Each structure stands twice: as C-alpha cells, then as structure tokens.
Amino acid sequence: MCYANRTFAAGQARQRRGKTVWGAPAACHVDMVEPECYRPQPMFSIDQAKRSPVSIALSSLLVLFSPALPSSAEPAHNPINIVVTIPVLKDLAEQVGGPHVRVKSLLSGYENEHTYAPKPTDLVAVRKAQLLFEIGTGLEVWAASLVKNAGSPSLRVVTTSQGVGLIRDHSDLHHNERQENDEHASGGNPHIWLDPENVAIMLRHITAALIEIDPAHTETYRNNQAAYLQRLDRLRNELSDRVKSLSDRRFVAHHPAWPYMARRFGFEIAATIQVQTGTEPSAIQLQSLIAKIRKDRLKVVVSEIQLSQKLPDLLAKETKARVVVLTTLPGGLPGTESYLDMLRYNVLQLANALETP
C-alpha cells in the first residue's frame, strides 16, 4: 500500500517510473499512470488558481498597470471636444475632423437661432470644450454670456463669418433704431451659410482651428476639407442648372433669412413679411403686402419650420399663393440632416413650387 501522507512521502527518496520507492513497502512501485500511488502535486492546481483570491487580485493589478493598446478602429488620442452654436457648424466640423473630433451643437435644428435660451447642460458642455465655433455677425446674441459664465480660460472661440461679404437688408437702410438683440446690429444679414460660397470660407476657419490645436493630423484635416469642397462645388453647379430653367424666380419671404441663397442661385425676394426678428407686421402692412402679392402675381411664400406658420397661411388664404416651408438649419425637416442635404432640399423645393402653375 502506498503512503498518502505527503509530509512523509516528501521526505523519502523516490524514483520515477517503474522503480522502488525507499521508505515504502517493497511491492509498491511509482507509476505516473496509476492513481493509487502517490505523485507530488503542484501548490495550486489550474482550477484552484482560477478561483484563488490572490490570483484574482494579481490579475486585477496587471490589468490596471499594464499599458493600454490603442484599438485599430479608434483614434489613438482623445477626440477634440468642440461645441458649436448651430447644426451647420457641427456638420462642417465633423466633415473635417472625422473621428478626431467630438462635436455638440447647442441648437438641434428646430429652434430659432435668434431667440434661443441656453440650458444648464449647454454651460457644462462649453466648460468641457476646447473649441467653440460660432457664426457671429450678431446671430447668436446669447453666446457671449454663455462663454463668459462658463469661465473656461483655455476655450478658444472661432467666429466663422470672418472674411465673408455681408449683405445689408432692406431693414438696414430704413430702420435706424435697432433693438439690442437685432440680428442686423452688426451691419449685415447673419444667414451666411445659405450661400455655399460662404460655407467654403467657414470651412477654412474650422480647418485652421483644428490644425492649430491638433497639428499631428494636419494632412487628414486638409484632405477632408478638399474632399468636402469638391462635393460642395458639384452640388452648387447642379442646383444652379436647375434654377436656370425657371421663368419666374420671385417669392415672398417670411423673415429675412434668404438673401444669400437668393443671390447665389438667382432667386428674387419680392417682399418680406417680418423685416425684423421678433416683430409682427401691422394690419396696414399686411394689407399692403396682400395687395402687392395680388398685383404682381407672386405665387410662392417661403416660410421656415423654425417659425410660426400663422402669417404665411393667412397670406396664402387671402391671395391663393403657395406656402413652401424650408429650413435654415440642418435637421429641421426630414431629409435635411446634413448641410448638403439641407441646401439641396431648400433650392429644389423652392424651384419646384415656382415652376408649378
């Protein structure tokens, strides 16, 4: 009979396969394949090691202190945190930055960009951001106080309208007294992104800011910018060809959001319902506008999803004109999630309405 006492067996002179074990009965041989004979065991079996609290603790420490390997599907650095005021800037920043940026737009596309009231979550987002992209030109009158309250000394604010030639509206020439938050207080209409030529300028500001803060990806940013500008140019040519076939390009605007798009594609704004943001036309002004629509046989009233449709619907009822609801912001209407989608939607919807008898 073999000894089962390991303490005793460990002290004996043993030999391996087929030889007598000293200190054990002479008839007992140690054979590795016979379970009834004693064989030395490891301190921990594999199963015991898996369950051992010590091994679990050691494994945890190895995980904590081992260097993390970057995933091939993700950038090896943390994305740049960016906050933008309106969705068009989000789209442009993502087109240039790709996976190297994380962008939050304060407006979603349904709000009025002039009268937006920042939320507490917006303040938190600005505090965490490295860059903030705005249009400027008096559009986001609420943005300056938001940045000030965030109190982030490292935040860089980039005004993307710099270098854009502004259009002075009819209201600029005839309204000397302006409210503090009037969109024209800067001396020009702020809806610059509705002209793709201006978007090219805005895109260059965004690209330059990204390169400055993340020079390691300069080539990527420049290549993405060049690719997007080519797509933008193709769409502009496509839409220009569509509008050229129209015999009547006149329309009535709900509010002065469309002069840049009209100038670029050859539309004509014959009248405007609200010449200033936040103001309602008087009864006399409405009657004069109704008379003009009838006299000049204006067929289309362009409104925006971000505004109330009460006045455009009233004019349509009185004059039999057609109301076309467009969007000044990407995401405002189905099929307008990107800037290019929005531009295509607006121009084609307006062109189709003007072409309809």
Range list of H helices, 161-253: 170-174, 196-213, 218-244
Dihedrals phi, psi of 197, to nearest 5 degrees: -65, -35
pTM of the complete model? 0.74
Q: What is the pLDDT along the chain (357 residues), one digit of tens a residue?
A: 443 444 434 444 344 444 333 333 334 343 444 444 444 444 444 444 444 444 444 344 334 444 444 443 444 579 999 999 999 999 999 999 999 999 999 998 888 888 899 999 999 999 999 999 999 999 999 999 999 999 999 999 999 999 999 998 654 433 333 334 444 345 699 999 999 999 999 999 999 999 999 999 999 999 999 999 999 999 999 999 999 999 999 999 999 999 999 999 999 999 999 987 778 899 999 999 999 999 999 999 999 999 999 999 999 999 999 999 999 999 999 999 999 999 999 999 999 999 988
Task: Give the total residue count for the chain.
Answer: 357
CA atoms of 327 and 254, how far apart (whole Å): 12
Structure tokens at 186: 């800067």
d(CA 193, CA 200): 9
Edge to edge, what strands does the sheet with 322-326 contain?
268-272, 250-253, 300-304, 322-326
Q: Which long-range contacts (CB under 8 A, 24 or more apart) does 284-292 make?
A: 286/311, 286/314, 286/315, 289/252, 289/315, 290/315, 290/318, 290/319
Tell me the backbone φ, ψ of residue 6, rounded to 5 degrees: -70, -30
Q: CB atoms < 10 A from the CB of 73, how many?
A: 6
